[in-house]
Amino acid sequence: MAIDHDLLSIQEARDLAEAAYQAQLTWKHATQEEVDRVCAAMADAAFAASAQLGQMAHDETGYGIAAHKKLKNELGSRVVWESIKDVKTVGVVHHDPQHKIYDIAWPVGVIAALVPSTNPTSTAMFKAISAVKARDAIVIAPHPSAARCTYETVRIMQQAAVKAGAPINLISCIQHISLPGTQELLEHKRVRLILATGGSAMVKAAHSVGKPAYGVGPGNIPVYVDRSADLKKAAHYIINSKAFDCSTICASEQSVIADKPIADQLKQLMISEGAYFSNEEQTERLRKLLFHPNGAINTTTVGKPAQTIAGMAGFSIPQYARVIVAPLKITGKDEPLSREKLTTVLGWYEEDGWEAGCDRSIELIMFGGRGHTQVIHATDENVIMAFGLEKPVFRILVNTMGTLGAVGLTTGLMPSMTLGAGGEGGSITGDNVTVHHLYNIKRLAYETTPPPQAALRGPMPASAALSNTQDIESLVQQVVQEIINQTK
């Protein structure tokens, strides 16, 4: 008799959630030394396997570039660990002597983690290390198209963790993947928090469960290049960032907004870096290729090299080309290419002055990237600050690569593969999600101010203290007995 895959997936989700709960009951008593030893072992094992797992991810999904996935794995393992290794997550983590308050770390419990196909191994690394550091257990649900590489990533970390002293089921991964199985995991009574990274449908499903959930929104990232910018550096960074892993990081640049006086010069510099500017006929072919009539992205185009995209669209481009740049005039549903493009196609707008560039940026953000990220290349600090103050996003990256800057590799932001979009984007945080989001704080608070007199009553009359079942005689006997005891 054939085994029902959905039922198998549901049962596996239940078993893993229950096993994770039992493991976390033990792990929540771990010392800081034990926690850090286990996390360091996980990070080291994952880092050592970065190249192998990057190649597996590329081979299984068909997305991106294996060497770039290796770099993302190094970020998700060693760079993430270095950023949180000194964070205290056990016992008293802060003391405010002035206000007489002690902050005490308390783990969330079991975390259900959704991992996308675009960054399947690096995201699994980052989430597992962060969860274990917070003394949580974690069950990872991979994307079906990246099941093998995600499972292997988790297996490597689990093996290292157990060898370093962690309970065996502290880290686990669903192997029999189905939508009902993933839903069962999210809804399981043992799961206390959902950590969702992926497409809008996946994040929406995580938020609809009714449990606390960290989700990310889409990243329709505009990059404004001001007349004050270092244009050579801007062109170099924009093309390299968009080409990085074939634009599978949600913080990759999606549309360039060039200040009109420098637009032609920037265009030539971008061409020298590997940009190919499409003509109107080619641009129309790209519109039809990349998106379905309802606006949904054609997933067969995700994470593909520029030559592959051009071939799928029915035209050819030079071998030197790394990114196809499509000149655009409008923003919104009538211009499909103004959407987020998780592949090597970049929009191009020209606007006269930073105010117009600001307006176009906001249009793009509001159309499909609310709360996520804006990139700006400029040296005029007034323009930079104006963008920082006005944009409805929670990462404004200045003179850096969008892909690597947003995840904290080239900026001082916390290294993370889950980038919150705040209330603007339907998330509960605008932060780069890290270990601080995966534990709670108990507060031990001493009295610092006597209560106001109006809140206090005088001594209670003895008669008022007598209940209906207690008479005067029994009370007297009780008092006498207490006196006898005191004199012994």
Residues 254, 302 within the same domain: yes
Q: 480 to each of 150, 392, 462, 483, how far by Cα in Å?
A: 74, 74, 16, 5
Q: What is the average per-residue pLDDT within 157-173?
A: 98
Q: Is residue 419 part of a domain?
A: no
Residues 38, 62 within the same domain: yes
Residues 227, 204 within the same domain: no
Which has more pLDDT, 351 or 485?
Answer: 351
pLDDT number for residue 478: 67
What is the three-class DSSP state of 63? Answer: coil
pLDDT number for residue 477: 66
Residues 126, 33 within the same domain: yes
- Say yes or no to pLDDT of 226 above 90: yes
DSSP 370-424: TEEEEEEE-S-HHHHHHHHHH-SEEEEEESS-HHHHHTTSSSSSPP-S-B--TGG
- Say yes or no to pLDDT of 472 above 60: no
- Say yes or no to pLDDT of 297 above 80: yes
Confidence of residue 66 (pLDDT cuts 50, 70, 90): very high
The verdict on whether 250 is a catalytic residue reads yes
CATH of the domain at 90: 3.40.605.10
Q: What is the average per-residue pLDDT within 333-359?
A: 96
- Say yes or no to pLDDT of 193 above 80: yes
Bridge partner residues of 327 (DSSP): 348
pLDDT number for residue 426: 84
Q: How far is CA 231 from the centre of its chain?
A: 31
Residues 238, 297 within the same domain: yes
Residues 160, 85 within the same domain: yes
What is the three-class DSSP state of 278? Answer: coil
* 81-90, 191-200, 254-263, 293-302: least confidently modelled range: 191-200
Q: What is the average per-residue pLDDT within 217-245?
A: 95
Q: Is residue 488 part of a domain?
A: no
Confidence of residue 38 (pLDDT cuts 50, 70, 90): very high
Residues 152, 239 within the same domain: no
Q: Is residue 447 part of a domain?
A: no
Range of the domain at 116: 12-216+434-442
Mean of all residue pLDDT scores within the chain? 93
Q: Is residue 451 part of a domain?
A: no
Residues 240, 103 within the same domain: no
pLDDT tens profile 254-288 = 999 999 999 999 999 999 999 999 999 999 999 99
pLDDT number for residue 1: 59
- Say yes or no to pLDDT of 112 above 80: yes
Q: Is residue 487 part of a domain?
A: no
Confidence of residue 468 (pLDDT cuts 50, 70, 90): very low
Residues 236, 274 within the same domain: yes
Confidence of residue 207 (pLDDT cuts 50, 70, 90): confident
Q: Is residue 385 part of a domain?
A: yes
Burial of 131: CB neighbours in 10 Å, binned 0-12, 13-18, 19+: buried
Residues 230, 180 within the same domain: no
Distance in angstroms (rounded) separating the CA atoms of residues 83 and 232: 31
* Residues in Cβ contact with 487 at an 8 Å cutoff, skipping those fewer than 6 apart: none
Confidence of residue 479 (pLDDT cuts 50, 70, 90): low
pLDDT number for residue 203: 75
Cα dihedral value 381, 382, 383, 386, nearest 10: 120
Quote the pTM value. 0.89
Element housing 324 (H / E) = strand 323-327
Q: What is the average per-residue pLDDT within 70-82?
A: 98
pLDDT tens profile 89-102 = 999 999 999 999 99
Residues 206, 240 within the same domain: no
Selecting among 173, 246, 250, 358, the annotated active-site residue is 250
- Say yes or no to pLDDT of 141 above 50: yes
Q: Is residue 194 part of a domain?
A: yes
- Say yes or no to pLDDT of 156 above 70: yes
Helix axis angle, 66-74 to 32-48, nearest 10°:
170
Tally of domains in the chain: 2
Q: If phi over 0 gives left and psi between -120 and 50 gives alpha, with beta otherwise, what is residue 88?
A: beta
- Say yes or no to pLDDT of 473 above 90: no
* Residues in Cβ contact with 10 at an 8 Å cutoff, skipping those fewer than 6 apart: 178, 180, 181, 184
pLDDT tens profile 310-324 = 999 999 999 999 999
CATH of the domain at 280: 3.40.309.10
Residues 209, 226 within the same domain: no
Q: What is the average per-residue pLDDT within 384-395?
A: 94
Q: Is residue 86 part of a domain?
A: yes
Cα dihedral value 408, 413, 415, 418, nearest 10: -100
Bridge partner residues of 397 (DSSP): 375
pLDDT number for residue 462: 53
Distance in angstroms (rounded) separating the CA atoms of residues 176 and 141: 10
pLDDT number for residue 481: 66
Distance in angstroms (rounded) separating the CA atoms of residues 61 and 143: 10
Confidence of residue 471 (pLDDT cuts 50, 70, 90): low
Residues composing the chain = 488
* Residues in Cβ contact with 42 at an 8 Å cutoff, skipping those fewer than 6 apart: 77, 81, 128, 129, 132, 157, 160, 161, 164, 171
Percentage, residues of the chain above pLDDT 70:
93
pLDDT tens profile 17-31 = 999 999 999 999 999
